[in-house]
Chains A and B, each alone.
Chain A
């Protein structure tokens, strides 16, 4: 009797384990499905925006230029101070670390090579992307999420105003223009910051530094970073919009989705960065 009882208990334990494993698999499965469907949603959004850009005017529902301009001001111009500050800092940081590691070989004066390539190909777009994700991606998610819970999106729809044309398209256009421009600006400022430190530390003249950079950097290196940043801009926008549109349950939901959008878009940027580098430099 007692034995049977014990056996049933272990069986119960196994059952519970199996149930838990099942639940776990289900969760993983669901997460995978929702991740894939979110990617699909992103592609659909992109398609819709292109559709409105091309077809909007013919349907007497153009993507509004003033709204796009306003978004561009917000994405680009207002981000200039923070991008500039961070770029100077990162540029100096790169110079400090470069000189430190090259000193091992006594090759400090080669630091320009490392700085030039890493800034143009990596740090310019990456730092800009992360800053824009934190600034604009989050505010986009919050804006759309708030509009959703206050029924502003519904109101647009019943007015016959497509929310994708009215809200998403201007944001996406602004991002694809402004993020590359910001990246170029970040490149210049980073190189300047690095050059300033190098000239102080190694006694190299600023003119010589600039000459070296111009000799080393080919347009393809700069464009590598610029193209990448364009992808980042698109990703940040889509992630922000999708998370905003998925907001459920009041202000708390907005906060949760805003955080999620920042984490996701920064992750997406880093992964894209790696893939892009892998594909284009091999």
Chain B
């Protein structure tokens, strides 16, 4: 059912745009790479290798200062292009160009953050079904997680599968995006459409939990 089945995808959904505010950092995994994904003060989005070029501290523990990401450990600061801008222990030093964080291509589409390990991240257009519901981790392989949504009844009825690959659960359109973090862990992002009310969204959120139970029981 996957959205994007048949489309050659070079990018993976690492999170919902809603869940990463300006000047915030999160950790993500894309194709086995450990990443720090962060927003600068102007809402610009960046995805970097999650290792500080200094001593390898996770940059996802760092914090944003203006348009720079600062490492928590010794405070080295990196510009949006990944280059080191400032080393607190040597305030007078212009850091050499060679000190730079490895950057990845990242874009936002359909309310979702997409990362590519190539240089042209692209996202799936989920059309009107781009209202964020939630992200949640399934301890199982991607295929099992995806299948579980089709096998989990919502209010007593199995969801319908549309030709687009999207589902309709209890009359509510749903798009399920999957990021295989490992062979036994999948990060799922669920979208619905803007017209769905809060009570229905909460019900859909619980349906996601039910699908997770189905998937994890199968994987156990």
Do A and B form a real pair?
Answer: no
Chain A positions within 8 Å of B, measured between CB atoms, are none
